[in-house]
Amino acid sequence: MDSEKNNSMERYMSMPVSKAVLVNVIPAIGAMILTLIYNMADAFFIGQTRNDLLVASVSYAMPLGAIFVAFGTIFGVGGLVAVGNAMGKGDKEKADRLASFSFWNSLIIGFLFAILVFVFREPLSRLIGATDQTFSYVVTYLGIYAFLSPTSCASTVGNSLMRAEGRPMAALIGQVIGNVVNIVLDAVLILELNMGIAGAAWATVIGGAVSLAYYVIYYVSKKSYLSISPKHYTWKGHLAKEVVPIGVAASLVGIAMAVSGIISNVMLCKYGDLSVAGYGVAGRLYSIVLMIVIGIGNGVQALFSYCIGTGDEDKLKKFLNFSLVFATVVGTGLSVLCICFAKPLTDLFLTEQSSSDYAVTFLRILLITGFLLGAFYVLNSLLQSKGDFIGALLLSLSRNGFLLIPAMLILSIPLKEYGICWGQTVADVLAVILAVVWVRRSKRKKADQ
């Protein structure tokens, strides 16, 4: 039975390249679309309250969600790569130890972070930019939203481990179930029970708990090739060295996004809460492009890792080339559509004219470089799969960190609030150039050895 399950990845190696990539990428894109839907659902249903200050309040809290995911990514992406390599080498026992190590540590860290956010929610609300008008809303939201942390972290790992063993559809189902619950509860709690921003927070937390329950049941029922049983949990065998460095590099994308998100909100709040509401909605719509190309990068990562584990360089190159073209075409097409329909899209979420005007302008600026995003995330996944810690770390920090933040600060001087979005455009161009240079450098270095 175990060998039959392990053949899931071997089966992809015998498929045509395009089919193998699409079979893995489509569920990953589907997962991202579902994430988009429930993120949009929060903003949409809150928008139906006709209070743009509530939309601004959720926008202030959004960076913390990126941190929750980032902590899960440490063990999710790190575990996926390490487990994929172990499976490629036929080491089932080690793969189980890595899976258990990743799952249980993510849950522990998630609980610790939830406690910190809950206890310090009031000073934290001020730190992330909440104004006097939105402070009570943000505090209420964070007091509930904090408890998404453990379920988000552990669910990220559960999803990644399923993809590592060649079961992308099973991984997608877990997200489908949680997201559907979240959307249904958004409608019930926000509109029917008039719970406002608290209803949005509870819907998100409960949906996350349902997803986690699905992943736990999947592994406990012995349907999986891998095991997350506590009996496999150990710190022996240098497991942390195989999981954490790659995972930290990947997680820094989320951490950098959170930091830059907080900085941008703090910079924007001096122009009024409605500018923050507009920026928050623009960011959600921008994520239509962003999350889908990230899904492409995530989807091909298991293929990259398995090829590296088996030493199949020719197959790796074919997967990479097809993925780059596919991601670029998808990113370009979605960007054009969102730019053309920016106004009707933003009006779905906002009622104030000034908020909507901000959102339209912000969105169109952000999407100027949408065609570049796919290449960036595919190349970043390649470096993670190769275990190139320095390269993955550098790319993870570049687009959302040390390139973006200085660009925002500098461009906001002459361009004011719009300089924040132009900073992202500049950072995108520089980050893609850096990614291409680093991958080529890595290839030449390997050829010289």
pLDDT at 428: 94
Per the confidence metrics, is the pTM higher than 0.75? yes
Which residues constitute the domain of residue 417? 2-448
188: its two tokens:
């019930």
To 5 degrees, how large is the angle CA 136–CA 181–CA 154? 80
Query: 272-284 burial, b if ≥16 CB within 10 A, otherwise e?
Result: bbbbbbbbbbbbb
Rounded to whole angstroms, the Cα distance separating 394 from 435 reads 9
Give Cβ neighbours of residue 200 (< 8 Å, ≥ 6 apart): 42, 45, 46, 58, 141, 186, 189, 190
Smallest Cα–Cα separation from 341: which of 285, 283, 425?
A: 285
* CB 346 within 8 Å of CB 359: yes
Give Cβ neighbours of residue 142 (< 8 Å, ≥ 6 apart): 61, 64, 117, 118, 121, 124, 125
Q: What is the pLDDT along the chain (449 residues), one digit of tens a residue?
A: 444 444 567 788 888 889 999 988 988 888 788 778 777 887 888 888 888 889 899 889 888 888 888 878 888 888 888 887 787 777 788 888 888 888 888 889 889 989 999 999 999 999 998 888 999 999 999 999 888 888 888 888 888 888 877 787 888 888 889 888 989 999 999 989 999 899 989 998 999 899 999 998 988 887 777 877 777 777 776 788 878 877 776 677 778 888 899 999 999 988 989 999 999 999 999 999 999 999 999 889 889 888 888 888 888 889 999 999 999 999 999 999 999 999 999 999 998 999 999 999 999 999 999 999 999 999 988 988 887 867 877 887 888 888 999 999 999 999 999 999 999 999 999 999 999 999 888 777 766 66
Angle at which helices 418-448 and 404-415 pack, to 10 degrees?
150
Rounded to whole angstroms, the Cα distance separating 212 from 161 reads 13
Residue 438's alpha-carbon distances to 393, 394, 431, in angstroms, are 11, 9, 10
Rounded to whole angstroms, the Cα distance separating 43 from 333 reads 24
Neighbours of 430 (CB within 10 A): 15
Rounded to whole angstroms, the Cα distance separating 245 from 178 reads 29
SS3 assignment, position 166: coil
Rounded to whole angstroms, the Cα distance separating 195 from 139 reads 15
SS3 assignment, position 390: helix
* CB 140 within 8 Å of CB 94: no
What's the number of domains the chain is made of?
1
Neighbours of 389 (CB within 10 A): 15
